[in-house]
Amino acid sequence: MGHRITVEPSGRHVRAVQGGQVLAESDGAFVLREAGCPDMYYIPFQDVRLDLLTPSVTHTHCPFKGEASYWSLPDAPDLAWAYQDPKPEVAEIKDHLCFYEVEVS
């Protein structure tokens, strides 16, 4: 049957908060569902406070999504990531940032 990943509009309000500071807030996030993993919310770059985040030297590779680049805060390394050139099967997550922890309402 293979590894299954779906990406669809979340239809929910998503916020990423660290240390009481809102880093991202969006009604336009995508939810990525991957077999064996929790749902992950990908937030459009325009809804992220990129001025607060610093690009990291960390990069990881996922055989299903592609190469991920990471962003950090001074007290929270690699707390968010994005696939700048995702595989075609998950093309919707291009130009979206994902955080390890988000509030969904």
Residue 3: the pLDDT is: 81
Is the C-alpha dihedral spanning 11, 86, 80, 4 positive or negative?
Answer: positive
CATH 2.170.150.40 fits 5-104, yes or no: yes
Res 1 pLDDT > 90: no
Res 2 pLDDT > 80: no
Round to whole Å and give the CA distance between 34 and 56.
Answer: 25
Average pLDDT, the chain: 95
Round to whole Å and give the CA distance between 50 and 62.
Answer: 24
All residues at 6 or more sequence positions from 47 whose CB lies less than 8 Å from its CB, including other chains? 24, 25, 26, 28, 29
pLDDT in tens, 27-83: 999 999 998 899 999 999 999 999 999 999 999 999 999 999 999 999 999 999 999
Q: What is the mean pLDDT of residues 8-26?
A: 96
| Domain coordinates in residue numbering, the chain | 5-104
